[in-house]
Structure 1
Amino acid sequence: MNSQPHPLSHAEYTRSVDEERYPDDPHVPLDEPFVNAAGSILNVLLERFTSVALIESHPGAVRANHYHKTDWHYAYVLSGSVVYGWRPADSTENVQVRTFTTGQMFFTPPRVAHVMYFPERTTFMTFARNKRDHDSHEGDVVRLPPIFDARWSPFTGQFTIGADGFEPSGGPRS
């Protein structure tokens, strides 16, 4: 994970999405939570969206391998981790790969091919522009052949990611 501060604040990032100026970096910066004697409040999303989905994924699961024609979505990781791969939909460039963990959020704009690998049990929420019912979602999705491959090794206790020739090793235990 990049330890450099994000160049945009949470409000600037989400406002740019609301104005259809999509940032290149999928990592969405979050502000520090408000904390008092009653607990804490974390503002996860400051702009408009249409639907929310709660998604649970089993260790080793792969989701997506598609892009959306018009939809965008934020994904907030409640628990676990997501190895996220992405590239422009009509591109043959190597897939970029980043891992997001509990308490982090990432963004997928329209026409960005993406895939998610779950090295451990993971629960996340998506906040989307379009309706998330099955017919609306599937009508906006363009399925792709696998753009990403992840393999778990019980011998090394690690997974290897292969994405169009890009093969970094490592990651959290599954």
Structure 2
Amino acid sequence: MTVETTLANPILDLEKPHVDERGDIQPLVSFPQAKIGSAVMITSKKGTVRANHYHKEDWHYCYLVYGAIDYYERPINSDEAPTITQIKAGDVFYTPPLLEHAMVFTEDSAFLTLGGGTRSQEDYENDLVRVNLVDPKNV
């Protein structure tokens, strides 16, 4: 699967699943040359905000297991209004480096994140820059 996302649509188009009598195999994303540095499962409660940052070098693919997210993004150092994409269970979405992003959870949610960098807290914090894309007080 080739990754083709835009600021207007970070959601990936999934390939058709392989289906047989045992069940389904749904390809989510292929990494022919990418290094996966971390895989984390994150749960979030309805009405909360995550991210509000950008990564200097890291990137991540996220798979929403259950719930719903309003995903905000815009180029770094921009004053324009962010693009908002509604993410639903089963969607895979991509965040490249140097893209401000925030997530507002409109339902209790869980998502799996595969990233290029490690998830040790020190390394993770050193790679990101905090921004105020979404004010949690206004959610």
Q: Do both proteins adopt the same fold according to a TM-score greater than 0.5, normalized to the shorter chain?
A: yes
Q: Whose relative contact order is higher, 1 or 2, with alpha carbons under 8 Å and at least 6 apart? A: 2
Rounded Cα–Cα distance in structure 2 between residues aligned with 1:147 and 1:111? 14
Kept after mapping to 1: 8 A contact 2:68/2:105: yes
CA distance, structure 2, for counterparts of residue 98 and residue 112 of structure 1? 14
Distance in 1 (alpha carbons) for counterparts of 2:120 and 2:13: 28
Q: Give the secondary structure class of the aligned counterpart of 2:29.
A: coil
Structure showing greater radius of gyration is 1
- Provide the identity percentage: 34
Aligned equivalents of 2:16 and 2:135: distance in 1? 34
Give the alignment of 1:90-129 within 5 angstroms.
90-129=77-116
Distance in 1, matches of 2:119 and 2:16, equals 29
Q: Which amino acid aligns with 1:41?
A: I
Q: Is residue 62 of structure 1 aligned with residue 49 of structure 2?
A: yes
Aligned partner of 2:84: which letter? V
The residue that corresponds to 2:133 in the other structure is 147
Q: In structure 1, list runs of 5 or more residues that go unmatched.
A: 1-10, 17-21, 152-159, 162-174
1:141 Cα offset (Å): 0.8
Q: Structure 1 counterpart of 2:17, which letter?
A: P
1:106-125 alpha-carbon deviations (Å, 9 max, x no partner): 11111100000001110001
Matched residues in 1 for 2:88 and 2:133: separation?
21
Aligned to 1:28: 12
Counterpart residue type for residue 134 of structure 1 = Q
The code of the aligned residue for 2:38 comes to S
Instruction: Tell me which amino acid in the other structure corresponds to 2:75.
Output: P
- Residue correspondences, number: 135
By how many angstroms is 1:70 displaced? 0.4
Q: Compute the displacement of 1:75 (Å).
A: 0.8
1:50 shift after superposition: 2.1
Whichever residue aligns with residue 37 of structure 1, its letter is E
Give the whole-Å Cα distance in 2 for the aligned partners of 1:149 and 1:37.
48
CA distance in 1, matches of 2:16, 2:87: 17
Gaps of 5+ in 2: none
Amino acid aligned to 1:35: V
Q: Distance in 2 between matches of 1:127 and 1:70?
A: 14
What is the CA-CA distance between 1:23 and the residue it aligns to?
Answer: 4.4
Say which SS state the counterpart of residue 12 (structure 1) adopts: coil
